[in-house]
Amino acid sequence: MADILDWTNSSLENLDMASFEARAEEMAVRLREETGAGRLPFLTMPYATALKKQLEELKPFLKKFDHMLLLGIGGSALGARALQQAFFPQQDQPGHSGPSLWIADNIDAYALEAYLAKLPPEKTVVVTVSKSGGTIETVGQYFILKKWMQHHLGDEWHKNMLLVTDEKQGFLRGEVETYGITALPVPDNLGGRYSVLSAVGMVPALFLGMDINSLMAGAQEVADQLTTPSLTGETLTEHGSFQLAAWGAALMDKGFDEMIFFAYIPLWASFGDWFAQLWAESLGKEGKGSQPVPALGVTDQHSVNQMFMDGVRNKACLFMTCPNLPTGPKFPADLPDQFSYVRDKDFGELIQAEGLGTRMALSTNGVPLVELRMGADSPRQAGKLIALLGAATILTGWLMGINPLDQPAVELGKRLAKARMNADGLEGEKADLNAFLTADRDLREF
């Protein structure tokens, strides 16, 4: 079944799409230039052939372990978690006895101490993911896990470690060269939030036995149309990513500064968190952007949907569905009369009905909405979704006149945190911290 973008309730008639659509040729030229120069590996995936070979060679190594502890944060973890929950839900179900992926994506002493106390070191592989090799939240945990492995495994500790980092430089690359730790590269020019279909996300996917070839093939099916040297403005206007970009930019011009990602595929809920980083970190710049809001159907019908329906009219919605989800067991026939409408019906019919009802209600209440109707909840479709939304985000940024590939504001908080830990240099940040911490505080007990 085909994957569809349903634009029926997108409010196109109320948006100035023409001014953005008129820039299609400009965008096509920029795509040709950027992909030709190797600056958009998210789309061109020049690393795909080598990565598949590396992953095939990695299989015997990974099969030795029952547990994978992934150390990573942001784009180094969100994609892996989305794939785990979408395609390896059994880990969170009763009686699971297969491989287990644990993701340490925060400075959480409770969780880290639990991993150290309960994971069997000899059957655990620690995967550290940091392109720069300098992300302290990640590398700090690496230091602790390195010491833990050394304590339990002695000189063999490095055989239970795997590093995903820059191919040539950085602290973690130095660890590879010093200790002979198994490693896979993060390609150049591939930012974390765009990296799920590189070794960053594919190593944990391979460990859990996912169909990585289908994931990557689905992405290439969407991206190949954007990376051909013959791309024109006319063909670009027919691509879903550009249509979504023009819609997104036009929405922001009209004051729609929140973008809901409503997932009515329950196992794909974490793609909402992945999208939130992608959209926010790419587009929230120079006083511009729209706030991504992940939501899960039907759970959030009973919580935040009241705000979506009846709050400030500043929200648009990407509404993800799949008409081919499992049907599940049937409702019993001997139900009370007040529930007679579900007698003998498949349990899975209910989420389809709830999704339809919410989609109609949002549209009726003035929320511009595009339905992402996935033909299946398969790895290939997930790859297509990842490529579609990534490309749409890049194009939206270009239409807004900002760089969707950097994250300058995030760096300030990182520098201040390092200054608080008394890192060398950063004298200006240390002075700012001192002024902040010594200022008069308005403190009130509650």
Q: Collapsing DSSP states into helix, strand and coil, what is residue 100? A: strand
3-state helix, strand, coil in the chain (%, to 5): 55, 15, 30
414 belongs to the catalytic site: yes
Selecting among 281, 315, 371, 429, the annotated active-site residue is 281
Contact at 8 Å (CB) between 107 and 74?
no
Catalytic-labelled residue, pool 13, 118, 302, 445: 302
Distances (CA, A) of 33 to 75, 189, 230, 244, 414: 26, 14, 12, 21, 32
Q: What angle do CA 53, 54, 60 make, to 5 degrees?
A: 105
Q: Which of 330, 414, 418, 430 is catalytic?
A: 414
Q: Token digits for 131?
A: 């392109």
Active site residue 167: no
Residues, the chain:
446
Distances (CA, A) of 9 to 15, 55, 248, 272, 367: 12, 42, 14, 21, 8
Q: Which residues pair with 104 in a beta bridge?
A: 71
Q: Name the residue among 245, 226, 225 with its Cα closest to residue 394.
A: 245
Q: What is the DSSP string of 225-291?
A: HHH-TT--HHHHTTSHHHHHHHHHHHHHHTT--EEEEEE-SGGGTHHHHHHHHHHHHHH--TT---E
| Residues with catalytic function | 281, 302, 414
